[in-house]
Structure 1
Amino acid sequence: MTDRKKVYLFYKKDEELEKKVQKVRELGRKYGYQQVERPEDANIIISFGNDGTFLQALQKTHFREDALYIGVNNGGMGFYTDFSIDDLERMELAMQSDNVEVLKYPTLEVTIDGLNSFHCINELSLRSNIIKTFVIDVYIDNLYFETFRGDGLLVATPTGSTAYNKSLGGAIVDPKLPSMQLTEMASVNNNQYRTLGSPLVLGKERELHLKIVQDGNDHPIVGIDNEAMGVRHNYDMKVKVSDRVVKTLRMKDNLFYHKVKRSFL
């Protein structure tokens, strides 16, 4: 048994799911994989659930660059879950064949008020917590770009472009393009106020700077992937494409565009 086969399992325990996970454990032992109790002791981290569970696994294990993340679906569809817990045959095929590859997904680094930094693989969302127009000054590489007025702004990764971003009319971006996309939420555009009014895709070398205009919005809602951050009185956010990537395992016959077609067409 090699050190490269230490596995940590991340999932919400319930009786029905536990029975299915036990079968995966037995399959893993057959091929020399060892389960560990602490994520820091593992080099393979497997989540069982949906995309939300996969995102939680990343956040709870701090986006480790030295670990391989694998998503196993427990029903439904998912962009991060390449395997189904009800298809042990496909999992076994992955363990014994070369029909798999490691993908490196880009992440965003978000710095709030110059103090707290976070990573996300899906998106950063910034919204008002009151029924009032949200005002944000937008800078790109220290250049003033626009003053946004509306419900909020969303900054998505390429892999996050098919989620919240798409529902806002954003573009779907190839995950192999290290970039970020700024998408508006119900912007106000009239003779007095004007924004770009369309999604904006920025390259890896760009830095996005969002300055919240304090006009009654002292407690904005900040979302990192699928979690609301417990931070208040935010005035300043800087976002850039991080050098940190998330390594995931997928079958070669399940490309990103297979997932897009399966999910939306």
Structure 2
Amino acid sequence: MDNRRNLYFYYPQDDELEQQLSPLFDLARKNGFSIVDRYQDANIIVSVGGDGAFLQAVRHTGFRQDCLYVGIAKSNEAGLYCDFNLDHYDEMVNTMMHAELEVRRFPVIDVLINGESKFQCLNEATIRSAIIKTIVIDVSIDGNHFERFRGDGLIVATPTGSTGYNKSTHGAVIDPKLPCFQVTELASLNNNRYRTLGSSFVLDKERTLKLEVIQDGNDYPVIGLDNEAYSIRNIKDLTITLSDKRVKTVKLKNNSYWDRVKRTFL
């Protein structure tokens, strides 16, 4: 880790949190790290505040490919992206000093809206009705029509995102070493007249998923990208693929993804 000495901390401005972080800043400086004010100057970006803060840090710093991301959870928070806890900040500095960590590479999905605006997601992209009315979406895979979905909406999750919103709607938990993404339904309408697959399905890294919104009053659905909602007028379609980007995070050697899943859910 000798060539990674510039730290940028991403956290909400809060006097109490500043006081909690002050000893960490001092310890980092004593061990030869520099704390920078601009994320562009950092080669390690540290989020403080659990998985939500981690997702925000990655998004607001542009899914950088030339740095490592580190997650620190506060004492009352748990996080699948966070290997460290603010109550034991000295462990983080000691680990980084002695190279007792490994690098994870988490898949990211690309989301192209209306063929114009492109976004990345580390967790998931969602499309939901913004009105009290079923949303109708034509689902195509590699240019071939698959189904016409009717329901509250759809979730497209990365492997790491599979433990979030996706899991709460009975989607599968996916190993992040698998380069793929998962599509899960939200309250699909299934009866003698309308039919969808009715279960989650997983797409390979080479697949292209297209979701076309049938304009029947749901012209302005809610688009969720990770933990942010976007107000985009006149949504026509979303094209989703697995990105070439990977978010690099640090992990303790004896703290695998499945260790964290077990600790969080079992």
Residue by residue over 1:136-172, the C-alpha shift from the partner in whole angstroms, topping out at 9 and shown as x without a partner, is: 0000000100000000000000000000000000000
* Alpha-carbon distance between aligned partners in 2 of 1:137 and 1:231, rounded to the nearest angstrom: 19
Residue correspondence of structure 1 range 1-265 to structure 2 within 5 A: 4-75=4-75, 76-265=77-266
Contact 1:31 1:95 in 2 (8 A): no
Amino acid at match of 1:51: D
Per mean C-alpha deviation after superposition, the further-off stretch among 221-230 and 15-24 is: 15-24
**Alpha-carbon offset, residue 2 of structure 1:** 6.5
Residue by residue over 1:102-136, the C-alpha shift from the partner in whole angstroms, topping out at 9 and shown as x without a partner, is: 10000000000010000010000100000101100
* Alpha-carbon distance between aligned partners in 2 of 1:67 and 1:93, rounded to the nearest angstrom: 19
* Alpha-carbon distance between aligned partners in 1 of 2:13 and 2:23, rounded to the nearest angstrom: 15
Residue by residue over 1:25-84, the C-alpha shift from the partner in whole angstroms, topping out at 9 and shown as x without a partner, is: 111112211011111111111011111111111111110001110011112110111100
Contact 1:127 1:152 in 2 (8 A): yes
Contact 1:105 1:246 in 2 (8 A): yes
* Alpha-carbon distance between aligned partners in 2 of 1:95 and 1:36, rounded to the nearest angstrom: 17
Gaps of 5+ in 1: none
Contact 1:55 1:226 in 2 (8 A): yes
Contact 2:213 2:219 in 1 (8 A): no
Amino acid at match of 2:43: N
Task: Give secondary structure in 2 for the equivalent of 1:247.
Answer: strand
Counterparts in 2 of 1:123 and 1:133: CA distance versus 1, 3 Å? same
**Alpha-carbon offset, residue 3 of structure 1:** 5.7
Which TM-score applies when normalising by structure 2?
0.97
Contact 2:135 2:150 in 1 (8 A): yes
* Alpha-carbon distance between aligned partners in 1 of 2:64 and 2:231, rounded to the nearest angstrom: 22
* Alpha-carbon distance between aligned partners in 2 of 1:88 and 1:194, rounded to the nearest angstrom: 52
Residue by residue over 1:202-222, the C-alpha shift from the partner in whole angstroms, topping out at 9 and shown as x without a partner, is: 010001000000011011000
**Alpha-carbon offset, residue 99 of structure 1:** 2.5
* Alpha-carbon distance between aligned partners in 2 of 1:127 and 1:52, rounded to the nearest angstrom: 20
* Alpha-carbon distance between aligned partners in 1 of 2:82 and 2:70, rounded to the nearest angstrom: 7
* Deviating 4+ runs (over 3 angstroms): none
Gaps of 5+ in 2: none
* Alpha-carbon distance between aligned partners in 2 of 1:49 and 1:225, rounded to the nearest angstrom: 16
Contact 2:121 2:226 in 1 (8 A): yes
Contact 2:74 2:87 in 1 (8 A): yes
Residue by residue over 1:221-258, the C-alpha shift from the partner in whole angstroms, topping out at 9 and shown as x without a partner, is: 00000000121111011001000010001111111111
Per mean C-alpha deviation after superposition, the further-off stretch among 16-25 and 85-94 is: 85-94
Amino acid at match of 1:26: D
* Alpha-carbon distance between aligned partners in 1 of 2:93 and 2:108, rounded to the nearest angstrom: 29
Paired residues, number: 265
